[in-house]
A and B are shown apart, each in its own frame.
Chain A
Amino acid sequence: MDEAARREYWRSNLRLMAALLTIWALVSFGAGIVFVEPLNEIVVAGFPLGFWFAQQGSIITFVVLIAIYVWRMDKLDAKHGVDIDGYEEEVHHS
């Protein structure tokens, strides 16, 4: 990677992180805590929605967020021609 490609790679990475962490905060601290009372007025399949976000929805969202991160980073690596198999050589020593 040359200097310009590196800058672009890092910028894409930071943008992705910012987007995912915003959703992370909105779902847990937002839907699960700060807005839990208005959301509890809505009941889906027996669950008051705010309560559902606090005990189920946030956890499910966290898994999905990491899945998106892994998937997008694989694509970003491929776009910049990072040899995915080359990774496997990085066994460490001290």
Chain B
Amino acid sequence: MSDIQTWTLVFVVITFGIYIYIAYASRVSNTSGFYVAGGGIPASANGAAIAADWMSAASFISMAGIIALAGNGYAGSVYLMGWTGGYVLLALLLAPYLRKFGKYTIPDFVGDRYSESARLVAVVCAIVVSFVYVAGQMAGVGLVFQRFLNVGTTTGVVIGMAIVFFYAVLGGMKGITWTQVAQYSVLIVAYLIPAVAISAELSDIPVPQIGFGQILAELDGLQQDLGIAAYTEAFTQTSMMNMVLITAALMFGTAGLPHVIVRFYTAKSVRAARYSALWALFFISLLYTTAPSIAAFSKLRVIQDLDGTALADVPGWFNTWADVGLITGADGGAVADANGNGVIDFTSEVVINNDIMVLAAPEIGGLPAPIVGLVAAGALAAALSTASGLLLVISSSVANDVYYKRINPGATEARQLLVGRIAMGGAILVAGYLGINPPGFVAQVVALAFGLACASFFPILVLGIFWKKCTAAGATAGMLTGLTVTMAYMIWTVDIWGNSAGIWNIPETGFGTIGMLINFAVTITVSQFTRKPSPLMQELVEEIRFPGRTDLVAKHAHGEELT
């Protein structure tokens, strides 16, 4: 066993032990605890939990690599702005009001505010979006186990499933929330240490957010010498219109994702919901402002180390990753001196996988083995925390929105909790299966989930709060049209149909923005001609705009008949 494997094992065992201990200490016995942690989580802890829930394997492992390699610098900004800007919308437009509304899930809000058929559409959307996401997380867990500990992907996924099963089934939202606080701490420390070290080494400034300014001019020059567009130059790969559309789809999609919105129900109060949003974005921004700096430093180092170097002289990290097939030649085989000039040509002879930029950063920066092990534990924390949050959405949608609200409204507390736990167990099994046998389209579909969330949920949530006269028929029509149009465009642009250029070159990842505008238009138009919400419902919508205790909202939250 190599040094790196030993240290990885040490960190994985320690962190998993902590998660299990926390889960045992915070086990729950009622539905309120299971679904929303009793609504009693302090804002800073809730913020850290939201941050861990939000930052998935994709944010932790892939994002810096996508910015550096696939996005060639500037184009990767869509992820940085898109996945943070959505929180401003959440904080200002949704979080406080949904918290005041005081139910458990998005379908709860949609069903109570609009109608039962709208609730069903919302349940289906929530479950589809969450399953798509969770499959990617489980695959990420398997990947880390395979690369760092040399165990099979299947074994890795099963270990991950067992851990999540233990703390999610036992502790529900309460266990998940406190575990996520621990997972956030692990992942942010694991992300920042290599970044600070590499920044101190390459720029003499130990603050990566400031340090990478020092090397941008050099990196621009290097890339231009290689005949690639400069790192900081705009619109070299993505047009201005598409930058706007993709960024908007990610922003509005973030504000419509069920597993994020549900976290604001766990806040103690309306005020705590506002503070939760602030803490969450603050914690997220620590990683999101660091990612572009890791991207720039690693790109510089990789070009310097590899371009014009003989194959025999490459640094150690190159061989580590070439051995597992994540650094290859242009043809997908081993890296070879294809044009026979005795050295590697960066632009034509090497292909580096996006996913290794962060994982290889400690080695590229020359850091010792324990740090590499810590980064592996951080990647696992990111994947597991997101997976557990998504599984809770699935379980509460099935147990609360379908079983309790539709099938057996007379169910006792204990019975609901049992159904919730069974649903959670079932969801973990399906997620594990998808993680071991990922359908080929998962990677694409994850990006598309944002488009679907933004085209379906965002407009009807915002209109439901800010427009008292928005009708049930309007919302249902809007949600269905937005979803159908967006999905149709995504399917229509799949390569096999030969329409991959789409209409006006709009990428499928950016089309959610168009779907959202259509949803708004349809909802508003149909609402003009259909039966207005009851005066009581209009009064309830009016009430949730104001903080403080009001009888009507309290009655509604307790599930009493409104009269």
Q: Do A and B bind?
A: yes
In the complex, what residues of A have CB within 8 A of residue B212's CB? 46
Judging by beta carbons under 8 Å apart, are B103 and A58 in contact? no
Residue from A6, A17, A62, A69 whose CB has the most chain B CB atoms within 10 Å: A62
B114 interface residue (CB < 8 Å to A): no
Cβ proximity bits B85-113 to A, threshold 8 Å, 1 near / 0 not: 10110011100100010111000000000
B285 interface residue (CB < 8 Å to A): yes
Judging by beta carbons under 8 Å apart, are B85 and A70 in contact? no
| A66/B88 contact (C-beta < 8 A), A28-B247, A33-B247, A37-B234 known | yes
Judging by beta carbons under 8 Å apart, are B81 and A92 in contact? no
A20 and B359 alpha carbons, distance in the complex (Å): 37
Partner of B549 from A20, A36, A65, A90 at Cβ < 8 Å: A90
A1 interface residue (CB < 8 Å to B): yes
Judging by beta carbons under 8 Å apart, are B234 and A63 in contact? no
A94 and B547 alpha carbons, distance in the complex (Å): 20
Shortest distance between the CB of B145 and any CB in chain A (Å): 31
A67 interface residue (CB < 8 Å to B): yes
In the complex, what residues of A have CB within 8 A of residue B545's CB? 10, 13
Judging by beta carbons under 8 Å apart, are A82 and B548 in contact? yes
In the complex, what residues of A have CB within 8 A of residue B102's CB? 90, 92
**Contact-size category for A:** 35 or more
A4 interface residue (CB < 8 Å to B): no
Q: Which of B61-92 contact A (CB under 8 A)?
A: 67, 73-74, 76-77, 80-81, 84-85, 87-88, 91-92
**Contact-size category for B:** 35 or more
- Secondary structure class of chain A's binding surface, majority of residues: helix
| A24/B557 contact (C-beta < 8 A), A32-B81, A63-B285 known | no
Judging by beta carbons under 8 Å apart, are A29 and B281 in contact? no
Shortest distance between the CB of A91 and any CB in chain B (Å): 5
Judging by beta carbons under 8 Å apart, are A20 and B247 in contact? no
Judging by beta carbons under 8 Å apart, are B92 and A55 in contact? no
User: Which of B162-170, B184-192, B272-280, B317-325 is near enough to bind chain A?
Assistant: B272-280
Residue from B73, B281, B404 whose CB has the most chain A CB atoms within 10 Å: B281
| A28/B234 contact (C-beta < 8 A), A46-B216, A70-B274, A87-B271 known | no
| A32/B216 contact (C-beta < 8 A), A62-B87, A87-B270 known | no
Q: Which of B95-137 contact A (CB under 8 A)?
A: 96, 100, 102-104
Judging by beta carbons under 8 Å apart, are A17 and B36 in contact? no
Shortest distance between the CB of A94 and any CB in chain B (Å): 5
In the complex, number of A-B residue pairs with CB atoms less than 8 Å apart: 174
Residue from A20, A36, A89 whose CB has the most chain B CB atoms within 10 Å: A36
- Secondary structure class of chain B's binding surface, majority of residues: helix
Judging by beta carbons under 8 Å apart, are B272 and A87 in contact? yes
Partner of B84 from A45, A47, A50, A59 at Cβ < 8 Å: A59
A46 and B215 alpha carbons, distance in the complex (Å): 7
Judging by beta carbons under 8 Å apart, are B234 and A36 in contact? yes
B232 interface residue (CB < 8 Å to A): yes
A87 and B85 alpha carbons, distance in the complex (Å): 28
A70 and B80 alpha carbons, distance in the complex (Å): 23
Judging by beta carbons under 8 Å apart, are B213 and A83 in contact? no
In the complex, what residues of A have CB within 8 A of residue B400's CB? 94
Given contacts A32-B77, A34-B240, A94-B103, 19 further A-B contacts (CB under 8 A): A17-B93, A33-B243, A34-B244, A45-B210, A51-B216, A52-B213, A54-B81, A55-B77, A56-B289, A56-B292, A59-B81, A66-B92, A69-B274, A82-B547, A88-B269, A90-B554, A91-B268, A93-B558, A94-B104
Residues of A within 8 A of B (CB): 1, 6, 9-10, 13, 17, 20-21, 24, 28-29, 32-34, 36-37, 40, 44-48, 50-52, 54-56, 58-60, 62-63, 65-67, 69-70, 73-74, 77, 82-84, 86-94
